[in-house]
Structure 1
């Protein structure tokens, strides 16, 4: 028997009922618990079995099942034939992309399409919840910080729908790669964590693992979508960071210049709204609203080559999170100036 336990199941008041359930089993049990090995409470397995703590790779799970079935390490388990080219369109895997930034949704949609996967797009947690009640979804890519219902609240609301939503894989997509943040997201019920800027190879690996499919590898150039590395150039002749660098943009967009141009267009179209949101939050001294606004702008810069604005947006968001609103005034003015230079670049292209 396979049993999956989330954080709520591991609460002391629920452990007794789980133990009673395990005591009544008639076969070995594999427990899969959404916690670290150090935090796993003691649960007896009367007829034997094993306890695994998430995240659990397919290989680890397969090896565990083989041991419990008495198979050798080289024994083959039956594998369903799920080659994507043979699937009808209605049977293709369907991934729900939830992100409030249009360029993030666009990039993920394109990477999913190249992998042979259909995508549903939601710009908010509320929109995702509405789609979940009317559409078949096999996996969710969930942004974490969104206005209104954030990623964690959306996950909880989806789980409360019951049925397939109790176990549907949900992968957090976040720009914050600190290990404590990753562990927190896993403990709240996320199946995995994908770091922005999204690396296409990592995305395909996670999708293959959680959808139990063999997906085509990203085309050449899609694997290097990491952001600007420390010391990386992207400078103009005067020594300043470039306002626009299409080569950098193409690399960030998975090797696709056409996609980089689309995400740049989306950023340019959103500049006025972003500046208005930043200014309104600053004038009101509303730190949460200011963080929402700069986080949105930072996300919009991630997949197009705008080194000046991207660096300022990332620096401002980090400073705001660490030092608070009082420490960002001068940097906010620099950000506005960089937005002005980007608008001037756009005017020169006309």
Structure 2
């Protein structure tokens, strides 16, 4: 339960790499770890991840399995085979929505050290990092840390009227706010950032989904609808997330008939969710941006 999640360790000398094609997933992980003081590098595809792994030594790498183009398994192989061997032995944790029986064994057989299910929850992430970070870099006695309160309860962000009214409006529209807040560390500020990112991604993502659908490129369609499924769950748009899951499974099986039947419905739900977010938060139809420096604005601002 992330309502009670509170960082129980710091690791200011540790450095990790997070590779995930979905910026919302990166935002959540970075902000879950903000108070641990871990140095975090991020990449949004396999090639970026390999480049960073060739330049820096990491203590842990969190690597998304399902990405467009090069997937996590192929990315891992390239990282392990880098000529400079910088991260040949670095623990690599697979990030996946695949929580079925035998998943852990399969990912370990592919070279991963362990796996975390997405959307990532704070306590699970913490346990995994404490397990794999070098013991000498982990400081577990943080009860007297000045950034925390009395060590028993997380600090709650201040709520202003616009934040409360926006979230209340989404709750009335059917968003599962309780579930969303668990993934967002019970932080209204982070939730608002994630909602805004979700809405702003629509133009790019929606256009790509339509293109893949028109081209009957079910592989890339499945990868992108998988990302929509994960992001929708994080923001509490459960109907969209569930339909995206069905489309993902259909595209995996090559069930073109189901995709063709439900694609239009899914796109309408996707548009509706984004419109509800824009109305509730009073934001315009801002286009998505590829400026990676902006995705961690929340973390940098310390809000």
Superposed, 1:283-302 pairs within 5 Å as 283-302=214-233
TM-score, length-scaled by structure 1: 0.64
Measured against aligned partners, the alpha-carbon deviations of 1:289-345 in whole angstroms (never above 9, x if no partner) come to: 211221121232232122232222223213332462222222212211212222331
Q: Tell me the residue number matched to 2:41.
A: 120
Instruction: Look up the SS of the partner of 1:328 in the other structure.
Output: helix
Aligned residue for 1:337?
268
Query: 1:190 — aligned with what?
Result: 112
Q: State the alpha-carbon separation in 2 of the partners of residues 272 and 181 from structure 1.
A: 33
- Conservation of the 8 A alpha-carbon contact between 1:241 and 1:307: no
**Is residue 199 from structure 1 mapped to residue 98 from structure 2 by the alignment?**
no
2:200 aligned with 1:269: yes
2:4 maps to none
SS of match in other structure, 2:55: coil
Residue 220 to residue 294, structure 1, CA distance change in 2 (3 Å): farther
Q: 1:154-198 CA distances to partner (integer Å, 9 max, x unpaired)?
A: 111111125342210000010011123321110111111111121
Q: Corresponding residue for 1:174? A: 96
How far off its partner does 1:202 sit?
A: 1.3
Inter-partner Cα distance in structure 1 for 2:213 and 2:154: 40
Contact 1:112-1:118 within 8 A present in 2 as well: no
Partner of 1:150: 71
Bigger Rg, which one: 1
**Bigger shift: residues 268-277 or 338-347:** 338-347
Distance 1:173 1:150 in 2: 11
In the aligned structure 2, how far is the partner of 1:95 from the partner of 1:108?
11
**2-side partners of 1:264 and 1:205: how far apart?**
27
Cα distance in 2 between the residues matched to 1:270 and 1:180: 33
1:347 Cα shift? Answer: 4.4
Instruction: Indicate conservation of the 8 Å contact 1:221/1:254, yes or no.
Output: no
Structure 2: runs of 5 or more not aligned: 1-7, 144-150, 156-168, 283-303
For the residues of structure 2 that align with 1:137 and 1:284, how far apart are their CA atoms?
A: 39
Change (3 A) 1:210 1:257: same
- Please tell me whether the aligned partners of residues 195 and 277 of structure 2 are also in contact (alpha carbons under 8 angstroms): no
Q: TM-score, normalised by structure 2?
A: 0.74
Cα–Cα, structure 1 residues 347 and 214, in superposed 2: closer, same or farther, change >3 Å?
Answer: closer
Question: Given that residues 171 and 192 in structure 1 are in contact (C-alpha distance below 8 angstroms), is that contact kept between their aligned partners in structure 2?
Answer: yes
The structural deviation recorded for 1:247 is 3.5
Using CA pairs below 8 Å that are at least 6 residues apart, which structure has the higher relative contact order?
2
**Contact kept? 1:95, 1:120, Cα under 8 Å:** yes
Work out the CA distance in 2 between the residues paired with 1:177 and 1:322.
18
RMSD of aligned residue pairs (Cα, Å) = 2.8
